[in-house]
Amino acid sequence: MKALTIKSSILVSSLFLLAACGNGDDSSNDASGSADGEDEVLTLKMFSADLTQDDPFDNAVAQEIEKRTGVRLEFSYPVGGDDQEAIALMIASGDYPDLIYGKGGLNQLIDAGGVIALDDLIEERGDNIKAMYGDQLDRLRRSTEDPNIYHVGTAGVENMYLETSGTLRLQMEVLKELGYPEINTLEDYENALTEYMEMHPTNEDGEPWIPMSLSGSDWHWLITVGDPASAVGGIEGDGQWYVTDEGEATYKFQRPELKEYFKWLNGMNAKGMLDEESFTHTNDTYVSKLSSGRVLGIADQDWNFTEAEAALRADGNEWNLWAPLPVGLDESVEVQTLKDYGFTGMTGVSITSGSEHQEEAFDFLDWFATEEAQILMNWGVEGVHYEIVDGKRVQLEDDLKNSQTNPNYSIESGVGAYIHPFPQWGSAAVDSNGQTIGRMGAEDIMAQYSDAEKEALAGYDADLWVDLFPATEDLETPKHGRAWEIALPTGSDVNVIQQRADDYTTQKVTEAILADPADFDGIWEEMQAELESMGIEKANTQMTEIIKDRLELWGETE
């Protein structure tokens, strides 16, 4: 097939993509089909709400993408991390890139006419996208009132859960010293920290330990304070919401489970067990503290401390890495960390109305749904990142070491850099040779464990950290997917009220955690009264209606 330029013939494109899909090895398949290299490269501008640093699109995977498709990406991202403000400025100016991952701003873009409906393009030239999504394609539709599709991506269609994120964690050195105790409750977790610090008040350099640290001075508050409260409370990962099996939604900061967790943090703070800078230091400072090996306990998403893990591995301090633990409020809580939410149709990549290359942009996105693209995004380039052994892809030893010790590995190598937010088969999908598309199989994950991790897991008679958690097959898949992925209607009461409530609860919960324990209940009740006065029940009602509309759209109503 010719590169994805104006010269491209969609018939020829489809034939070559089908041929590539049947191969199972991406190394020899040049989707451009051009031996003379004369096709002109098309640059597509793309804004990504989740990108946080420059990506010059010159790593090995990016070069392969350009070679195979004839497309080069020119990325932009929200400076300062405020993606909503960046999208609002685009809408106001009418100056759009070709592709946009708008995340929570998707509805604003749709209402402003900033992105186009993709239904006709999918029907006419989206064979790979249709094959990838199959009967899940309807989950990309906006609503029952507007059933058009405005994005593709960003979640995998078929997923397995062999790694955890967002849990409470402890250093493996603590677990080893205490004889690998079972830690299933907040009481267990606190007791382990207390016992270890009584045994070892300082580290080998004579520096005092930081028992537990959070990153609560900016938006990271959501992932180190708010989200762990849900996880410990046994609440599904619905962001700022608590959703029942029937689709009834409640703003989660009204729930007693969260109060109990924050009250525990309040007690930890009063005992001097919580880093006193948890709500004032920057996230960079937080990561720097983690990199020092002095922080014993954290509650965070794994992608937020990869830099610290890489630094510890590079320095040979593998026992200072943090083990994920199935910590609940008490023994009655079933932690939902490994829950399968199904394909949720969350926001993804859209094509803008301002693009002069809409068909080429769509063909580019459709290519991402091919086998060769999925192998390239997940594994990289054969001979550079992996080799074929007995017909299977095996990561090269040098690349494995680089992936473990280089905090910039993804963007420098390209491996994993372009999975999100593009169309993706998912970690459980297998290629035409029967191998998982992602580096996420059990053997792949175990191969990446450090010697310390392997020893610690042996102490728990486990092969993977997920073996310590309630199993996916024992946790019911919610019919509504995940509430946090729903782009709320522009200007709706729920959208406006939730934004106000989020700003308020961030400040008020922080105040409650840092208060004298005698004042905690009063601050919590004050917060509940203020939420009521700002109309939180109206927001609950509208969110319930939105979720039930999704259930109807997905055919999940009885």
pLDDT in tens, 456-505: 999 999 999 999 999 999 999 999 999 998 888 888 999 999 999 999 99
331, 366: one domain = no
144, 181: one domain = no
Question: Is the predicted pLDDT of residue 124 greater than 90, yes or no?
Answer: yes
Identify whether 369 is part of a domain.
yes
393, 332: one domain = no
Identify whether 203 is part of a domain.
yes
* Residue 420 near residue 368, CB atoms below 8 Å: no
- DSSP H or E run through 66: helix 60-69
- pLDDT for the residue numbered 39: 67
Express each pLDDT in 238-297 by its tens digit: 999 999 999 999 999 999 999 999 999 999 999 999 999 999 999 999 999 999 999 999
Long-range CB contacts for residues 446-453, cutoff 8 Å, separation at least 24: 447/395, 447/400, 448/400, 448/403, 448/404, 450/313, 450/318, 450/321, 450/404, 451/318, 452/172, 452/318, 452/319, 452/321, 453/172, 453/318, 453/321, 453/323
Into how many domains does the chain fold?
3
Chain Cα centroid distance, residue 479:
20
- pLDDT for the residue numbered 8: 38
Pairing of strands 42-48, 210-213: unpaired
Express each pLDDT in 341-384 by its tens digit: 999 887 899 999 999 999 999 999 999 999 999 999 999 999 99
328, 399: one domain = no
Identify whether 447 is part of a domain.
no
- Which tokens go with 10? 């969609």
175, 288: one domain = yes
Pairing of strands 210-213, 349-351: unpaired
Identify whether 1 is part of a domain.
no
- pLDDT for the residue numbered 558: 66
Question: Is the predicted pLDDT of residue 434 greater than 80, yes or no?
Answer: yes
From residue 10, alpha-carbon distances to 4, 327, 411 in Å are 9, 52, 31
| Residue 198 to residue 211: CA distance in whole angstroms | 11
Structural domain of residue 468, as residue ranges? Answer: 168-341+456-474
What is the average pLDDT score of the chain? Answer: 91
| Residue 20 to residue 26: CA distance in whole angstroms | 8
Instruction: Read off the CATH number of the domain in which 86 is found.
Output: 3.40.190.10
CA nearest 554: which of 479, 486, 488? 479
394, 310: one domain = no
Cα–Cα–Cα angle for 141, 147, 150, nearest 5°?
50
Band of the pLDDT at 81, cuts 50, 70, 90?
low
* Residue 199 near residue 177, CB atoms below 8 Å: yes
Please name the residue ranges forming H helices in 315-450: 358-368, 371-379, 397-405, 409-413, 442-448
Identify whether 280 is part of a domain.
yes
184, 331: one domain = yes
16, 104: one domain = yes
145, 59: one domain = yes
500, 545: one domain = yes
| Final residue before a domain boundary, out of 474, 500, 524 | 474
Band of the pLDDT at 448, cuts 50, 70, 90?
confident
- Which tokens go with 306? 């990869």
140, 263: one domain = no
Identify whether 354 is part of a domain.
yes
Identify whether 254 is part of a domain.
yes
Long-range CB contacts for residues 60-66, cutoff 8 Å, separation at least 24: 60/380, 60/381, 60/384, 60/385, 60/413, 60/414, 61/376, 61/377, 61/380, 61/381, 61/413, 61/414, 61/415, 61/417, 61/418, 62/414, 62/417, 62/418, 64/376, 64/381, 64/414, 65/376, 65/418, 66/41
- pLDDT for the residue numbered 34: 39
Q: Fill in the amino acid letter for 223.
A: I
CA nearest 322: which of 283, 284, 294, 282? 294
Long-range CB contacts for residues 312-317, cutoff 8 Å, separation at least 24: 313/404, 313/405, 313/450, 314/405, 317/293
**Mean pLDDT confidence for 36-62:** 88
Question: Is the predicted pLDDT of residue 36 greater than 70, yes or no?
Answer: no
From residue 286, alpha-carbon distances to 215, 277, 359 in Å are 6, 9, 44
Band of the pLDDT at 443, cuts 50, 70, 90?
confident
Identify whether 429 is part of a domain.
no
**Mean pLDDT confidence for 36-59:** 86
- pLDDT for the residue numbered 19: 34
Q: pTM here? A: 0.83
Reduced to 3 DSSP states, what percent helix, strand and coil does the chain have, rounded to the nearest 5? 45, 10, 40
81, 210: one domain = no
Mention every residue, 6+ apart, whose C-beta is less than 8 A from residue 299: 166, 167, 168, 169, 212, 214, 224, 225, 228
Express each pLDDT in 178-188 by its tens digit: 999 999 999 99
Question: Is the predicted pLDDT of residue 4 greater than 60, yes or no?
Answer: no
Mention every residue, 6+ apart, whose C-beta is less than 8 A from residue 28: none
Instruction: Give exposure, 220-247, as e/b (b: 16+ Cβ within 10 Å).
Output: bbbbbbbbbbbbbbbbbbbbbbbbeeeb
**Mean pLDDT confidence for 413-422:** 95
